[in-house]
Amino acid sequence: MGKSATVLAIETSCDETGVAVVTGKKSGNRYELTVREHLLHSQIATHKKTGGVVPEVAAREHAVQLPRLLVALSKKIPLAALMQEVDAIAVTAGPGLVTSLLVGVEVTKTIALAWEKPLVPVNHLEGHVYASLLKPNKGERHKQRDFVFPLLVLIVSGGHTELVLMKQHLNYRILGTTRDDAAGEAFDKTAKLLGLPYPGGPALSTLARTGDPTAITFPRPMLKSDNLEFSFSGLKTAVATYLKKQKRINRRDVAASIELAIVDALVGKTIRAVERYRPAGVVIAGGVAANRLLRSELEKALKQTAPKTKFFTPLLAYTTDNGAMIGAAGVIRYLNGTKSQPATLRVNPHLPLK
Amino acid sequence: MKKHLGKTNAKKYSLRTLDDTTALAKELAATLRGGDVVGLVGELGTGKTNFVQALAKTLGVKQAVKSPTFTILQLYQTAKPYDFSLCHVDAYRLRGAEDLSAVGLADYIGDPNTVVIIEWADTIKKALPKTTRWLTFSFTATKRTVTLSL
């Protein structure tokens, strides 16, 4: 007999406000997750004007949007029914921008007190990992399986680049991180050098589609070094220097060459970790997991070096920050006994994954 | 007592190798006292974070120093004989001085136990003390230049 639980989940760590209701079933050590509702408000349009996330603006937007999303949720599931059904309330406790995190955590505490339900603090990165276990909506075809362990995780986003080894659910060992810029930051900043609008990453990838990725050989720092660390600041300098030196610039070729340099570094180190730790599965997580080239190159490299390794990717809808992924990690945490009380839960902008 | 000599002489350095960066970091480290603010200015990819990494190493910081663009502010413990914390800030995503309190930076600027070093400091120049020391990074296709106003 399995156990099951339902959580209301709230995410406000950066520039997306997310609310979701997620149900999880546990049988043995396996989980099946269902997203009941999933509402999201992105602040990208707001931040386009300033060219990036501004903490003060982001926090104020969360304070406006979160109640709106909760009201919208109550129109889908009446509050009385929701309160009956929900076993706990999951919330992102970090890492992220402190003022943004506070909005979500304080609202969550209020709901938890009013409903007399426990809180489940979730690490934002853990949410990204578990996004890959979320099933598509009704009518969509996507085979969904539970993770296999040991599981190698590549987390790539605007603020993070980490290789993590999971021996079992909710167990993390950091194998390597970036020494300077995150992969998503490398995309955004080189895109800015090319004069692309915020957020630069996706714009750069679009431009890259019609360019020649072999036109310019940008450095792939640390790719040859025998460790699992990344470095992307040298790429930024190389691109800036190239743009200064060249008289005629083909922006498509530059974009395609930048994208391939970043993807090569990510795939190279992931494959090195696969050779070293022989995981049963590999999962990519975070905003950069939406990058098509990264997905296809990693899948290709895995087929060549370790064809039996299972490859997990999140549905595109769940690669950006969202509430459903916090619900996914939250419900699994709840089913494993993680609980916190409103009086003691604190946000931690630098919360480590452990 | 800390003395501000009010000198406005600027020194120019050419950084060709990592050793050059380390030498400049050592020179600056020798003059740092708690309460100091150092402002770094320069385009993307000119070596600001790289310089903070070299400075942190000189100050005995054990943690790896990374780009603080995402977190905006990161505090590091230095080792003896340095008796201050190093607060590494990235103002890249801030609009201006009014955002300082939102990230908690106001608590560290001028704190006698902290040296604050700020990338993209020109964005929040208005909120920084007059005694702020400025390092301006620039580069051509062949070399990197840092101008230090003490």
Please name the residue that has the structure tokens 């599931």.
A77
**Other residues' Cβ atoms within 10 Å of the Cβ of residue A64:** 11
- Give the one of B66, B69, B95 whose C-beta lies nearest to A179's C-beta: B66
- Classify residue A77 as exposed, middle or buried by CB count within 10 Å of its CB (0-12, 13-18, 19+): middle
Chain A from 157 to 196: CB within 8 A of any B CB? 158-160, 177-182, 185, 189, 192-193
> Strand A88-94 vs strand A161-166: parallel, antiparallel, or unpaired?
unpaired
In this structure, what are the phi and psi dihedrals at residue A62, rounded to the nearest 5 degrees? -60, -40
What are the residues whose beta carbons fall under 8 Å from the beta carbon of A101, sequence distance 6 or more?
A12, A13, A92, A93, A94, A347, A349
Q: How confident is the model at residue B123 (pLDDT cuts 50, 70, 90)?
A: confident
A330 annotated as belonging to a binding site for a ligand: no
Domain that holds residue B109: 13-149
Residues belonging to chain B with any Cβ–Cβ distance to chain A shorter than 8 Å: 43-47, 49-50, 53, 64, 66-67, 69-72, 74, 92-95, 98-99, 102-104, 139-141
pLDDT at site A139 = 54
* B47 to A54: CB separation less than 8 angstroms, yes or no: no
For residue B142, give the chain A residue with the closest CA.
A241
Task: Give ipTM to 2 decimals.
Answer: 0.74
- Give the one of B46, B74, B102 whose C-beta lies nearest to A59's C-beta: B102
CATH 3.30.420.40 fits A151-312, yes or no: yes
The answer to whether residues A333 and A120 touch, using CB atoms and an 8 Å cutoff, is yes
Q: What is the pLDDT along chain A (354 residues), one digit of tens a residue?
A: 579 999 999 999 988 999 999 999 998 888 999 999 999 998 877 766 666 667 777 888 899 999 999 999 999 999 999 999 999 999 999 999 888 999 999 999 999 999 999 999 999 999 999 999 997 765 555 556 789 999 999 999 988 999 999 999 999 999 999 999 999 999 999 999 999 987 789 999 999 999 999 999 999 978 888 899 999 988 999 999 999 889 899 999 999 999 999 999 999 999 999 999 999 999 999 999 999 999 999 999 999 999 999 999 999 999 999 999 999 999 999 999 999 988 889 998 888 998
CATH number at residue B68: 3.40.50.300
A348 in reach of chain B (CB within 8 A): no
What are the residues whose beta carbons fall under 8 Å from the beta carbon of A18, sequence distance 6 or more?
A9, A10, A11, A12, A38, A39, A40, A41, A69, A321, A322, A323, A324, A326
A211 annotated as belonging to a binding site for a ligand: no
Contact residues on chain B for A53, CB-CB shorter than 8 A: 93
CA distance A314 to A283: 8
Contact residues on chain A for B71, CB-CB shorter than 8 A: 95, 97, 159, 349-350
Q: What is the DSSP letter of A132?
A: G
A128 annotated as belonging to a binding site for a ligand: yes
CA distance A164 to A334: 22
A159 annotated as belonging to a binding site for a ligand: yes
**Share of chain B residues as helix, strand and coil, in percent rounded to the nearest 5:** 25, 25, 45
The answer to whether residues A11 and A323 touch, using CB atoms and an 8 Å cutoff, is yes
CATH 3.30.420.40 occupies which residues in chain A? 3-142+318-335, 151-312
Does the residue B107 lie in any domain? yes
Strands (E) in chain B, as ranges, are 10-15, 37-41, 73-77, 85-90, 114-119, 133-139, 144-149
A271 annotated as belonging to a binding site for a ligand: no
How many domains are contained in chain B? Answer: 1
Does the residue B7 lie in any domain? no
Does the residue B19 lie in any domain? yes
The answer to whether residues B80 and B48 touch, using CB atoms and an 8 Å cutoff, is no
* B70 to A160: CB separation less than 8 angstroms, yes or no: yes
Global pTM value: 0.87
Does the residue B55 lie in any domain? yes
Please state which CATH number belongs to domain A3-142+318-335. 3.30.420.40
What are the residues whose beta carbons fall under 8 Å from the beta carbon of A254, sequence distance 6 or more?
A194, A211, A215, A216, A239, A242, A243
Contact residues on chain B for A59, CB-CB shorter than 8 A: 102
Does the residue B26 lie in any domain? yes
* A185 to B69: CB separation less than 8 angstroms, yes or no: yes
A38 annotated as belonging to a binding site for a ligand: no
A233 in reach of chain B (CB within 8 A): yes
The residue type of B82 is: Y
